[in-house]
A and B are shown apart, each in its own frame.
Chain A
C-alpha cells in the first residue's frame, strides 16, 4: 500500500533558525501537499506542490516526484511556527481522488 514517511519525528529550534522537514513516499505519480496543525487544532494547508519548488512566505517546498521525496524548508523560524507538519500524498494522474495518505508528522517546537 501507499506509505508516507516523515523525518525527523520531532525538532526543536531556536527562534530564527532554519529547518528542513523531509517526506518520502512509496508510490509514483503522486500529488503532494503540506499541512500544518497546532495541538488540537485545525488542519491548515501550507503548500500544494505536486512537483518542483513552491514558496509561500517563509516556507519553501521542493518535490522530486521521480525520487519520491519532498521537503519543506522553514526559514527564520518563529515561536508561532510551533506545531505539527504533515505531508500527504495522493496517487493518480487524473482528477483529485480525495484519498490522501498522510505521514505521521514532524512535531516542531520553536523556543525563544
Chain B
C-alpha cells in the first residue's frame, strides 16, 4: 500500500482556474513538503511544514498556498492557474531527526491549458 497518497494522479485545468492537490501520508511523520518537477528542470523545493506549521517557503508566488488540516495532510491550493504551472507536483514527508531520509509520493501531474 502506498505510504503517501497524492490525488489526483492527473489533472487538466483551464488557465485562470483554481485547483487543490491532495496529499496524505501514513508514515507517522511529523514533517511534510511539496516539490515541483517542471519539464527539463530539476525538482525544486516549494514548502516545508512541521507539526502543521509552515517552516519554509521557497515559492515566490502567493498563488500557491499549502493547507494542513491534520498532521498527516498537506494539500496545495493553486489559484489563477497559468500554463507555466504545468508540472508534476510531489508531496514528501520525513520524521525529524530520523535517519531514513525523505519519502516521496507518486506525484500529481498538472497540465494547464
Contacts and interface: CB of A to CB of B under 8 A. Distances in A.
B113 interface: no
A42 to B, nearest CB: 4
Contact of B109 (A35, A40, A105): A40
B42 A105 contact: yes
Contacts of B45: 98-101
A99 B58 contact: yes
Contacts of B33: 98
B107 A103 contact: no
Nearest to B90: A43
| Chain B: number of interface residues, binned into ranges | 20 to 34
Contacts of A40: 88, 109
A75 interface: no
A95 B96 CA distance: 5
B105 A99 contact: no
27 contacts: A4-B42, A31-B101, A35-B104, A40-B109, A41-B106, A42-B90, A42-B106, A43-B90, A43-B107, A44-B104, A45-B104, A48-B99, A48-B100, A86-B42, A95-B97, A96-B31, A96-B94, A96-B101, A96-B102, A97-B48, A97-B55, A98-B31, A98-B33, A99-B45, A100-B43, A100-B102, A102-B44
Given A43-B43, A105-B42, 18 more contacts: A33-B101, A40-B88, A41-B106, A42-B105, A43-B90, A48-B100, A48-B101, A88-B43, A95-B97, A96-B96, A97-B55, A98-B92, A99-B58, A100-B35, A101-B42, A101-B45, A103-B42, A104-B42
